[in-house]
Amino acid sequence: MEFIVKKRDILHKGVVFDLIVDHIEYPSGNGSVREVAKHPGGAVVVPVFDNGDVLLIKQYRYPIDKVIYELPAGKLNNGEDPEQCARREMEEETGYKADRFEKLTAFYTTPGFCTEILHIYLATGLQELASGQRLEEGEASITIEKFPLKRTLELIESEEIVDGKTIVGLFLAARKIG
């Protein structure tokens, strides 16, 4: 689509995202405003044990004031490779490492207003780390639980798993490994 950005305001430079407001003009001469949350992206891991169980984390999410099930995930550091981010986040949040990582897909979470892209990886050959979880202060309440993959799909259908990245990752893993 063709348009001209007449003015750009950076309203907020944050830890997680920046908020940008663009004032644009279409070829017709009509103006509009576009609000964009600029996010560096992230990586998501579907950790699957040899027996087919999936490792999920359970954590409190401040914006929705709820504890929910999720796949391990995290924000990319500046210039960080998504697979390295996936490995780091899985080890920190779960206390496990994996022998193999396979990229399943990447997707934009909310392209109507946000630049966030998430890279989803299937992790297999899991081994528990002697050091255990390495949680940040805001993650101190994270617990881990194992579920058979088929059960996670049932938890999605019953709305016990409601996180978008987790739903995408679990369905792709189920398709990949059966």
Q: How far is CA 149 from CA 34, 37, 46, 55, in A?
A: 40, 33, 10, 9
83 is catalytic: no
Q: Could you tell me which residues come within 8 angstroms of residue 142 by beta carbon, excluding any fewer than 6 positions away?
A: 57, 58, 59, 93, 133, 135
Looking at residue 21, its amino acid is: V
Token pair in block for residue 163: 């996180």
Given a contact cutoff of 8 angstroms between Cβ atoms, the answer to whether 72 and 133 are in contact is: no
With contact defined as beta carbons under 8 Å apart, do 74 and 49 qualify? no
Structure letter (DSSP) for residue 38 = E
Question: In angstroms, rounded to a whole number, what is the distance separating the alpha carbons of residues 118 and 41?
Answer: 6
From the candidates 137, 154, 157, 159, give the one annotated as an active-site residue.
137
Letter for the amino acid at 98? A
CA–CA separation, 136 vs 115, rounded Å? 25
Strand partners, 143: 58
The residues carrying an active-site annotation are: 137
